Structure 1
């Protein structure tokens, strides 16, 4: 019996629905976990690794289930889907707090217990439904259904930040996802009914036995072709948000393009995949050469170029994976190995690289690995030109290498001397031509890529690593720069300045950057004794270089909350001396500030400053109504709450204005525009208080003209259950590439 078109549409709809739900629940459950776990990047890394492990488990389940008769498969799968439905609606499991030092095990356990059963079963939909589809001898090739699967994944991923998060609370999201899960069960049941009487597992097993055996070499190649795009997707995200353009939501774009690449790579019609693979080669030599650049850019071009490169390379490598696919009878094994490769790529980028490297070196490594795995294109094979003697091949290869070396050297001179980038781009054209000429020889491609990377800025990145200027933790990549001409030492996290200290003895203990004497924080801390007396109790969320410590006065009690031990080490080893020299008796609490502040006694602080942003990312769990409740509890009745909202891409003033209105707080804002020549930086600080008299005292002491009303509130208060930064993105800044 030949399947009708409606039956094919049924399988496509089932796979689309499962994949959509899979990538909708990933950000949803991680978003739920933020208030409990804190805003550390470890949470997101752990979440991604848990998802990849569960995906691998789902593919293994589908592979093993596929050995049974189809009717038995349907009974088991539908039964397990029904049992897993008992864990709905989606929510966090109840686990006791982790023991100190066991957080790395506790976080995966929490996520696994919370979402594990349904995630594993839903992740099995793509390979299992393809196997059911192919069980009918007249159904045709099932591989295009994998393209439909990734189209569903892409849609789910994009739908969360654009639709689900802005429009629905977490509670509503959970119930909506549960309804979608019920729809999926119904679709799976219809697929099972559509395949009544189709080929049983023994027939499929016989076909598998008849298929040629898969060599170990091919399995390793499958693993590599799956691992490199997976790792490159994560490394591109790290590279962009750390060193080029720290825009919030940017992580969605690489992951979305990675998923979209499967749609083209696994399509039945190969024309688009071949064209994109052809374009991947020149993109590799141009944009791939920027993979070692570690200094931020004010233009949007490097960002666009990087994500285009990722997409083209993923299509090329996934297209080669498709070309190496086995017989249909070995479909689930193929997807199982693909999933294992994805896990390996994720492990390397998310777990191994932060421990092994001081910078995002995994990114250029994966770009080079991609160059080694790229399918060679006949269109760039000049050996096929008519009349070209084989004896001239060696001479032409040598000439191409000389051209690449010469052009790379010219680019190096331009970058080193701060010359015109347009001139460098012209020389880059020669590198591209040379690279295409040697594209049939992978060792030569590697050589040209290394020269181009080094010339475009890799020499600066390498020098900083060799000089020990950079350190890395799970929380970020930090670089300490000395500027002898300006007599300054700076602490930079990615593209964001986190503090600076003068090396001039007379100015060494002066707070600079966002914390100068005319900043909102500077005014509040300087006048704390005037408002609260000589024994003021002051708290700071986010240590940075420790600049605020030098507002410390005798008799005051200071407490700093810092999530990253590496940041604290910069103050302890006197890389920055603010803390040791100005407030040696200050208490430093390591951990997520919201969690730690919830443990302090009520009325602990007279003044509390929240300055915990990492680059331009927004720790939403520190700005929700529940977080404001934690701060209020920790503050004295006349206490002042300072929140630093300087940001290149997000306007947070309406968020705080709405929070203030909700809680009956008074709020004022200080927009400081100091002289940059003195080492100060523009900043925006909001001050909130339950006591209008405390705000009036601050304004009186610092000059009322320096403060303004906070302005119009947002339509909705951020809560742990419902918050979205999308309405507050300043798109003119994002698109303009403003620094």
Structure 2
């Protein structure tokens, strides 16, 4: 069987037109895949207020989704032993049983006991969407199997392109359309309507094959079962793009440019690569496969660089590399596809490969590595698996024998090794003329040896090491860098300016002066003229000598030196690694110098504050929104209600909203208006002269239910155009018709600062 022209296939020497019901199978697969990629972020939004944003929660969720997807593919493979009629009866019945879990919602099960959270979170997700997700996930391979049961249908594999097109549509539509326009309850009912449509489409597809009397093995050939080696090859080819998609996301947000919703781009490109690779258009895949080794050299050569400097060009190049490599590998996978009788086995192993790549990049790598080393490792793995057609067949042009050509290729590798060694010696954190010349030379050598995998892979590795890679590796042995599920943290000394800095990827996360006279001075967002500085300096005057202060977000511990004798402080921090850094006097001494006995509560701030006694705090400081992926569940009506409960009746809620990508002022303005609270914002202009060079401009919002307390804090709220240099607080700027955020409805799209997204500005 092979294609002759679009819509026609040759089978046993006879040209047969495609089945008239092709549209039905395409539509069924599109709808099923669309629903599958829509339900994942929807359920994530539903469980966020209940489970918080701890990484263990999302790792558990990912494992549940992958296990259900793999289970769905295994179920589709198991069904293949029956006739289409029997398959259809079982599958439609399972659809109807799973409908008992609709509309989508979070199951009401008892709270976990101490130490049982790791089992409870997967149980909650399985009880909430397990049957529905399982049955929908079987659509792609099962519908292809049914499609191929008609001898007129032709090759079913191109339907997998439709599956991934549906997945891409679901992925994009949720943050762009569904979340900004519909509350969760309406989303759930809308998804239920889509599920009902899918049941009808599946029943229609079954009827299209049922009455024809065709059986699942009707189009089968005599091709033997694929060998274990071939199956392992499928597994590895599927695993590398899956892992590379996740590692590209991590690498971009850690060392290139952190941006909100950035995860959508790599995942979307990963899905689109399937659309191209599994389509009937072979020419684009062939072209991409030809240029893939060159792109891997040009962009993958930067894979060990840990100082991207916020460059959007590097970010776009990394995304282009992911798309090209994924398309080339998926095209190779499509080339290696078996006969239709082994279709479900093929997809089962593909799914297992996706799970394998995801587990490595998302779960194991943060535990094993102190930097994003999974990214260069997966780049090298891609080089080991890619088809390597010789782009410049110089050995044939020169008429060289194979043995002679191999000797020349080995000599070229030796030259590349010398060049990399020279680059390591000259590397200063930026490419000068010498290192640039050697980098270009190694790149050209890599192009010349594309035809020899044993030479191409080492040259790529040498290029990585030469372009900043050696510095990245060396830093792993200094103890200055540590990694958690939340990111990569690096502590660096700058003796010339008497500074020690904590970097979270490309973002400055804390700074301390190292000279004894100033090491207790607050820096960055937390200077005495900032909103938090003005408030904490007045805490005793506002609430007495025994004021109770709650701080959400530890950082380097900078705020600790605002603590005064008699005050009771509690700090809430989600990342245990950050606590270790702040408590280590060899790194930062804010805590050890000023508040070594401060209670630090580890966990999601909303969940932990909900467990605090009512009316406990005089001031709560929320410092969790300066990163590029803000925790929505900390700014909803329900979250503010938890803070209000934990505050004394005249307490002050202080929220840090400095952010390069989000304008959160309308969110808090809407919340203050709905509650009838008094609010103000302190816009600190930042450093004025060299004396305050360690400070950063910041925006802090104060909210309280007691106008008198606000008057005492601010000395009177001034007009919006007041001078910010003298400690002025001004009114919050509300946005007309801005909808209050709740656990049922919240969207970041209306508050995105698009000019900074496009500009890729980093701090």
**TM-score past 0.5 threshold:** yes
Verify: 1:52 aligned to 2:66, yes or no.
Answer: yes
1:322-341: CA deviation from partner (whole Å, max 9, x where unpaired):
11111111000000010111
**1:230 alignment partner in structure 2:** 242
Say which structure is richer in helix: 1
1:513-562: CA deviation from partner (whole Å, max 9, x where unpaired):
11111111111101111212211111100111111110011111111111
Equivalent residues of 2:388, 2:453 under 8 A apart: no
Once residues 460 and 673 of structure 1 are traced to their aligned partners in structure 2, the CA distance between those partners, rounded to angstroms, is 36
Equivalent in 468, 474, 479 of residue 457 of structure 1: 468
> Relative to 1, partners in 2 of residues 1:292 and 1:638: Cα closer, same or farther, differing over 3 Å?
same
**2:185 alignment partner in structure 1:** 171
**1:687 alignment partner in structure 2:** 702
**1:710 alignment partner in structure 2:** 732
> Relative to 1, partners in 2 of residues 1:411 and 1:286: Cα closer, same or farther, differing over 3 Å?
farther
Equivalent residues of 1:600, 1:634 under 8 A apart: yes
Once residues 753 and 434 of structure 2 are traced to their aligned partners in structure 1, the CA distance between those partners, rounded to angstroms, is 33
Q: CA deviation at 1:626?
A: 0.8
**2:509 alignment partner in structure 1:** 498
Equivalent residues of 1:49, 1:346 under 8 A apart: no
- Tell me the secondary structure at the aligned position of residue 616 of structure 1: coil
Structure 2: state its 5+ residue gaps: 1-14, 717-723
Equivalent in 582, 599, 621 of residue 571 of structure 1: 582
- Tell me the secondary structure at the aligned position of residue 292 of structure 1: coil
Once residues 203 and 706 of structure 1 are traced to their aligned partners in structure 2, the CA distance between those partners, rounded to angstroms, is 78
> Relative to 1, partners in 2 of residues 1:338 and 1:380: Cα closer, same or farther, differing over 3 Å?
farther
Give TM-score scaled by structure 2 length.
Answer: 0.93
Between stretches 659-668 and 171-180, larger displacement belongs to 659-668
Equivalent residues of 2:80, 2:216 under 8 A apart: no
Residues 340-355 of structure 1: matches in 2 within 5 Å? 340-355=352-367
Give the count of matched residue pairs.
736
Once residues 634 and 584 of structure 1 are traced to their aligned partners in structure 2, the CA distance between those partners, rounded to angstroms, is 24
Verify: 1:282 aligned to 2:305, yes or no.
Answer: no
Equivalent in 522, 542, 548 of residue 511 of structure 1: 522
> Relative to 1, partners in 2 of residues 1:102 and 1:323: Cα closer, same or farther, differing over 3 Å?
same
Once residues 127 and 203 of structure 1 are traced to their aligned partners in structure 2, the CA distance between those partners, rounded to angstroms, is 15
Verify: 1:74 aligned to 2:52, yes or no.
Answer: no
**2:318 alignment partner in structure 1:** 306
Structure 1: state its 5+ residue gaps: none
**2:758 alignment partner in structure 1:** 735
1:157-193: CA deviation from partner (whole Å, max 9, x where unpaired):
0010100011111111110000000000000111011
Once residues 426 and 84 of structure 1 are traced to their aligned partners in structure 2, the CA distance between those partners, rounded to angstroms, is 62
**1:557 alignment partner in structure 2:** 568
- Tell me the secondary structure at the aligned position of residue 214 of structure 1: coil
**2:541 alignment partner in structure 1:** 530
**1:264 alignment partner in structure 2:** 276
Equivalent residues of 1:483, 1:489 under 8 A apart: yes
1:437-483: CA deviation from partner (whole Å, max 9, x where unpaired):
11122232221111211222212211211111111122322111122
**1:118 alignment partner in structure 2:** 132
- Tell me the secondary structure at the aligned position of residue 278 of structure 1: helix
Equivalent residues of 2:303, 2:376 under 8 A apart: yes
Q: Please, what is the CA RMSD of the aligned residues?
A: 2.1
Equivalent residues of 1:136, 1:199 under 8 A apart: no
Q: CA deviation at 1:202?
A: 7.2
**1:540 alignment partner in structure 2:** 551
Verify: 1:479 aligned to 2:502, yes or no.
Answer: no
**2:618 alignment partner in structure 1:** 606
Verify: 1:632 aligned to 2:655, yes or no.
Answer: no
**2:693 alignment partner in structure 1:** 678
Equivalent residues of 1:135, 1:198 under 8 A apart: no
Equivalent residues of 2:429, 2:468 under 8 A apart: no
Equivalent residues of 2:625, 2:659 under 8 A apart: no
- Tell me the secondary structure at the aligned position of residue 466 of structure 1: coil
Verify: 1:107 aligned to 2:108, yes or no.
Answer: no
Residues 584-623 of structure 1: matches in 2 within 5 Å? 584-613=596-625, 615-623=627-635
1:290-326: CA deviation from partner (whole Å, max 9, x where unpaired):
2112234232111101111111010011111111111
Q: CA deviation at 1:639?
A: 1.1
- Tell me the secondary structure at the aligned position of residue 344 of structure 2: helix
Between stretches 682-691 and 339-348, larger displacement belongs to 682-691
Equivalent residues of 2:259, 2:760 under 8 A apart: no
Between stretches 613-622 and 520-529, larger displacement belongs to 613-622
- Tell me the secondary structure at the aligned position of residue 493 of structure 2: strand
> Relative to 1, partners in 2 of residues 1:623 and 1:417: Cα closer, same or farther, differing over 3 Å?
closer
Equivalent residues of 2:92, 2:203 under 8 A apart: yes
Equivalent residues of 2:531, 2:683 under 8 A apart: yes
Equivalent residues of 2:624, 2:630 under 8 A apart: no
- Tell me the secondary structure at the aligned position of residue 321 of structure 1: helix
- Tell me the secondary structure at the aligned position of residue 733 of structure 2: coil
Residues 8-407 of structure 1: matches in 2 within 5 Å? 8-198=22-212, 201=215, 203-204=217-218, 207=220, 210-385=222-397, 387-390=399-402, 392-402=404-414, 404-405=416-417
Once residues 643 and 32 of structure 2 are traced to their aligned partners in structure 1, the CA distance between those partners, rounded to angstroms, is 41
Equivalent residues of 2:498, 2:515 under 8 A apart: yes
1:170-222: CA deviation from partner (whole Å, max 9, x where unpaired):
11111000000000000011101111244655745x946x2123111111110
- Tell me the secondary structure at the aligned position of residue 376 of structure 1: coil
